[in-house]
């Protein structure tokens, strides 16, 4: 975990069936912290997308591995950290495809990171102490 003082954290094993639990954890905590519904929905979606990639691609759905989600809410932003020990994702090599390309290729993937990039204001992937850390920030207006 980084030096940031996270308010809330949740850890679960790497199974797609746990995505719902992760979403419930994120949305309920954001609501408790008075984050507006639209921001709450968008941030929850971004976390789902990163965790989906972590569970499926980074950890090959190995239920012996865990994914951790941490949230910090302050009056102007939500900071999320998602941590796992799976295969690293090189965010710098991600090349966005156009929708036309995805349709032509009959692709079912590639849109998760596209969504996250459009939703969050800042995203960084780092490797810290042999862990993959995805840190994301979203500027918000609290109710």
Partner 1 sequence: MLEISTSQERNYYIISLEGELDASTSLKLDTAIQDALQQNATKLVINLEKLQYVSSSGLGVFISYLSDFEAKGVYFSLLNAKDNILNTLTILGLEKLVPLIYQIPDE
Strand intervals (E) in the chain: 8-13, 66-73, 77-84, 122-128, 131-139
Cβ proximity to partner 1: between 98 and 127 the closer is 98
Q: What is the footprint of partner 1 within residues 59-98 (CB under 8 A)?
A: none
Strand, coil or helix: 70: strand
How many CB atoms sit inside 10 A of residue 35's CB? 25
Q: Does 137 bind partner 1 (CB under 8 A)?
A: no
Least separation in angstroms between CB 119 and partner 1: 7
As a three-state string, the secondary structure of 3-39 is CCCCCEEEEEECCHHHHHHHHHHHHHHHHHCCECHHH
Q: Is 119 in the site for partner 1 (CB under 8 A)?
A: yes
55 near partner 1, rule: CB under 8 A: yes
Binding site for partner 1 (CB under 8 A): 16-17, 19-20, 23, 38, 41-42, 45, 48-49, 52, 55-56, 99, 102-104, 106-112, 114-115, 118-119
């Amino acid at each position: 975990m980084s030096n940031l003082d996270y308010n809330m954290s949740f850890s679960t094993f790497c199974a797609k069936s746990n995505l719902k639990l992760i979403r419930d954890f994120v949305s309920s905590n954001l609501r408790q912290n008075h984050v507006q519904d639209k921001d709450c929905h968008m941030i929850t979606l971004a976390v789902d997308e990163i965790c989906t990639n972590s569970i499926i691609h980074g950890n090959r759905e190995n239920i012996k591995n865990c994914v951790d989600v941490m949230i910090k809410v302050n009056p102007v932003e939500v900071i999320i950290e998602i941590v796992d020990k799976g295969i690293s994702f090189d965010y710098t090599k991600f090349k966005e495809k156009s929708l036309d390309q995805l349709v032509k290729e009959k692709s079912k993937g590639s849109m998760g990171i596209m969504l996250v990039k459009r939703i969050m204001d800042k995203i960084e992937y780092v490797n810290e102490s042999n862990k993959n850390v995805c840190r994301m920030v979203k500027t918000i207006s609290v109710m």
